[in-house]
């Protein structure tokens, strides 16, 4: 039994679905990493603001102190805004990863079906070939036996022309 076109088509569809899920997962992972880098940049902005306040304490510059306070406040707002988005992005990545893995399992199942069918076909073809060889050899032996039975025994002659009997 050859692998059906429908089964091969199913494998192709599963392969395409897996590829789409992989691309969606990569995109979501990239977005999550961008959000995490933005959060790290926000933390760095808050640190710069604290350093600005610290330097203004030593220099006595009021504008630097106000700028530092504003940087800390802006970093806090960004951090508050980014934290839930990161949590949502992590959930999305986890869901997409699960979907990707399920599509991979489905594709591998289709591949396994095709591989098993092809293996069964190869075994059956080898069995048929062996049967054909056995039949040919058996017929050949039977033919030789039949030919030997129909031939009359011939006299054996010596090189000098005398016979063995």
**Which segments of the chain does DSSP mark as H helices, in order?**
5-59, 62-150
3-state secondary structure of 18: helix
Longest Cα–Cα distance in the chain? 141
Domain housing 55? 5-107
Which has more pLDDT, 155 or 51? 51
Residue 137 within any structural domain of the chain: no
Residue 57: the pLDDT is 85
pLDDT digits (tens, 9 = 90+) for 103-156: 999 999 999 999 999 999 999 999 999 999 988 888 888 777 777 777 755 666
Residue 131 within any structural domain of the chain: no
pTM score of the predicted model:
0.69
CA dihedral 135, 140, 145, 147 (to 10 degrees): 140
Residue 66 within any structural domain of the chain: yes
| Confidence category of residue 56, pLDDT binned at 50, 70, 90 | confident
CA dihedral 17, 20, 24, 30 (to 10 degrees): 130
Number of structural domains (the chain) is 1
Torsions phi, psi of 163, nearest 5?
-100, 165
Neighbours of 89 (CB within 10 A): 19
Residue 37 within any structural domain of the chain: yes
Average pLDDT over residues 15-35: 97
Residue 143 within any structural domain of the chain: no
Residue 20 within any structural domain of the chain: yes
CATH number at residue 10: 1.10.287
Residue 62 within any structural domain of the chain: yes
Residue 40 within any structural domain of the chain: yes
CA-to-CA distance for 152 and 49, rounded, in angstroms?
Answer: 118
């Amino acid at each position: 039994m050859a692998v059906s076109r429908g089964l091969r088509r199913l494998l192709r569809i599963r392969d395409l679905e897996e590829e789409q899920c992989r691309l969606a997962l990569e995109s979501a992972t990239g977005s999550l990493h961008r959000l995490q880098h933005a959060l790290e940049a926000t933390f760095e902005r808050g640190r710069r603001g604290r350093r600005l306040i610290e330097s203004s304490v030593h220099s006595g510059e009021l504008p630097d102190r106000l700028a530092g306070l504003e940087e800390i406040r802006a970093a806090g707002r960004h951090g508050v805004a980014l934290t839930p988005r990161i949590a949502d992005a992590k959930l999305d990545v986890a869901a997409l990863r699960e979907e990707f893995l399920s599509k991979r399992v489905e594709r591998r199942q289709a591949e396994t079906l095709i591989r098993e069918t092809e293996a069964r076909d190869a075994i059956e073809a080898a069995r048929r070939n062996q049967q054909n060889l056995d039949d040919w050899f058996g017929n050949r032996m039977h033919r030789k036996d039949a030919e030997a039975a129909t031939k009359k025994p011939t006299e054996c002659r010596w090189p000098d022309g005398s016979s063995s009997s």
